[in-house]
Chain A
């Protein structure tokens, strides 16, 4: 694998955003190896509930078994490859392929084969032809999966990024209340490489140019004229934290031990939402005395390598950029609320999220334009020879010690540190030749784990 990422000089080759062969290798070396976000437990609350998701280019099914466990299966019949399920979501006692009728139980076992006695002479070994099951992990309702059966477990994969990620899940009042996703997932096609949207939220902190028009209009939680992320009620550190070992990164730093807790929410234009947050803060001081909300300490978002990124609050949302060819991706977006929020508060956030995010979001619309035409202008034989420049902050970051050992940290200034951490990890994984999963035996490896 050639070196596309020059970590010392802060340069990234354009080839990795346009080249067919690089893209093909990414599917093997990144999307078959990394943990990928599948969906949220609140999308499949009951046994038999399912949600159709993706892992890279592959269609997968997230299914709640009769035993209450969430499993992830490749959505492809083991007979002749037909999609076993073509619904976005639903509830079913059994998954039956529409092609020849092979049927699978909610735990993935092949339980029905038409003409098994008459024409297969009962010889087909049905135990070997269950749906291919990925290795899944349900972490606080966030369901992740990987095809890498021998690699690191989910917690090793997340490393020190875990508390940053988890701050998005924390209940507003600091209690153990769960969060849930609003029904429905926005899915849309963008003519750019998946790495543009994946890396975008990792924190270059200088989106003021892209989003100048939305700030002129003002669509924040405070209503018209308010800034899009909300007027922060408390100290928001300008900091970036990137993890070279995993490629993850956050806009925000580690917990500041000297920070004094104070009311953390922006003003809300809706009185009911404002009152609810005032009461939630009262409860927070009882639930977590002397503490700030974790999202107020760990920053407002980041990216889990390779392609899941999130905003912890204002807005509170998850995005996955699925690869769909070298210069096309499919973006999926979920929105999060506290489960215990009253209906009208959830409705307030829904309105705020939808005017901020997604293809119709006043903020996000401009992102897709930038990525589309950056892609187009990077395809030419000459253009490809010019690397992208990610030198902001280069050589000025510090290495964190405990508790974020090894993280690259830039505090108090803007930097492209996290993006370089992301691409550095990308190069490392792409260099790992000989590590590709062997296609014929992946089913055996899955079976061996059962």
Chain B
């Protein structure tokens, strides 16, 4: 391996390490219920989408995920609606989350899809990962969400901010009674 190649590999490893650390730290905030710190990780213009998924014919799999601008969705949020969700969870009288549910958010299979422009101040990366989100509510209520998540991150100081997030829950009929949590 030449020095140039080694530097390239090292560069990619450092980038992935930085992104993985960001994702782990982000999910740690959710599980520790520090929603004020969590919401601050999102850019003001963020698009946060959790689309519906349809059962479609083999040759129409491009229509499986309902990502159209007018399509119904589980979430089609802006920063404003994400902040509203956080504020509702912090009222203490949001009965769907009072007492507060327990959660454990896992993130894995993190891949950097592309990066542009290289190492500039507006450094942006597109990523894809798998998530597993466990929710335990009150006594016996358990929900498991296993999904594919795609994020666009932009450099913010020494870390990142989330510019775009799309979560594919890999469910058609939602198997949970509500979505009072984040992915």
Question: Which residues of A are interface residues toward B (Cβ below 8 A)?
Answer: 86-90, 182-191, 210, 212-214, 216-219, 223-224, 330, 333-335, 343, 346-347, 350-351, 354-355, 358-360, 362, 364-366, 368-370, 372-373
Interchain CB contact under 8 A, A212 and B54: no
| B153-180 residues at the A interface, CB under 8 angstroms | 172-180
Q: Is B131 an interface residue (CB 8 A)?
A: no
Q: Nearest 6 CB-CB pairs, A to B? A: A184-B72, A188-B174, A213-B94, A360-B179, A369-B96, A368-B177
Residue B36 lies at the interface, judged by CB distance under 8 Å to chain A: no
Nearest chain B CB to A18 CB, angstrom units: 17
Determine the chain B residues whose CB is within 8 A of the CB of A189 once the complex forms: 173-177
Which B residues between 64 and 107 are near A, CB-CB below 8 angstroms?
A: 66, 68-78, 80-81, 84-85, 87-88, 91, 93-96
Are B94 and A366 touching (Cβ within 8 A)? yes
Size class of B's contact patch? 35 or more
In the complex, are the beta carbons of B178 and A360 less than 8 A apart?
yes
Judged by a CB distance under 8 angstroms, whether B119 is at the interface is no
Q: What would 17 more interface pairs be, CB under 8 Å, given A216-B88, A368-B178?
A: A86-B55, A87-B57, A89-B54, A183-B66, A183-B68, A187-B174, A189-B175, A212-B93, A213-B88, A214-B88, A217-B87, A218-B84, A359-B176, A359-B177, A362-B84, A365-B94, A366-B95
Q: Is the CB of B84 within 8 A of A355?
A: yes
The answer to the question of B60 belonging to the interface, with a C-beta cut-off of 8 Å to chain A, is yes
Q: Is B56 an interface residue (CB 8 A)?
A: yes
Nearest B residue to A362, CB-CB? B88
B125 contacts across to A, CB distance below 8 A: none
Question: Which A residues are in CB contact (< 8 Å) with B70?
Answer: 182-183, 343, 346-347, 350
Measured in the bound complex, the distance between the Cα atoms of B69 and A364 in whole Å is 23
| B60: chain A residues within 8 A (beta carbon) | 90
Closest-CB distance, B112 to chain A (whole angstroms)? 29
Query: Once the chains are docked, how many angstroms separate the CA of A334 from the CA of B87?
Result: 27
A contact patch SS: mixed
Contacts of A216 in B (CB 8 A): 87-88, 91, 93
B30 interfacial by beta-carbon distance below 8 Å = no
Does residue B50 face the partner (Cβ distance < 8 Å to A)?
yes
* Closest beta carbon of chain A to B85's beta carbon, Å: 7
Q: How far is the CB of A436 from chain B (nearest CB, A)?
A: 29
B84 engages A368 (CB within 8 Å): no
What A residues does B52 contact at CB under 8 A?
A: 184-186
Chain B residues within an 8 Å CB radius of A223: 80
Least distance between B55 CB and chain A CB atoms (Å): 5
Decide if B72 touches A183 in the complex (CB within 8 Å). yes
| In contact, A368 and B96 (Cβ under 8 angstroms) | yes
Q: Which of A90, A187, A360 has the most CB of B within 10 A?
A: A360
With A and B bound together, what is the CA distance between A183 and B71 in angstroms?
5
Measured CB to CB, the nearest residue on chain B to A225 is B84
Cα(A4)–Cα(B180), bound, Å: 35
Whether A355 contacts B81 by the Cβ 8 Å rule is yes
Q: Are B178 and A369 in contact (CB under 8 A)?
A: yes
The interface residues of chain A lying within 8 Å CB-to-CB of B50 are 360
Residues of B within 8 Å of A188, CB to CB, are: 173-178
Give the shortest distance, in Å, between A165 (CB) and chain B (any CB): 21
Task: Output the residue of B84, B96, B179 with the most chain A CB within 10 A.
Answer: B96
Contact mask for chain B residues 129-154; partner A; CB cutoff 8 A; 1 contact, 0 none: 00000000010010000000000000
> Please, how many angstroms separate the alpha-carbon atoms of A295 and B93 in the complex?
32
Residue contact B179 to A365, C-beta cutoff 8 Å = yes
Closest residue of B by beta carbon distance from A210? B95
Contact status A362-B85, CB under 8 Å:
yes
Known contacts A87-B56, A88-B172; A185/B74 CB under 8 A: no
Q: Is the CB of A184 within 8 A of B76?
A: no
Q: Inside 8 A of B76's CB, which chain A residues have their CB?
A: 350-351, 354
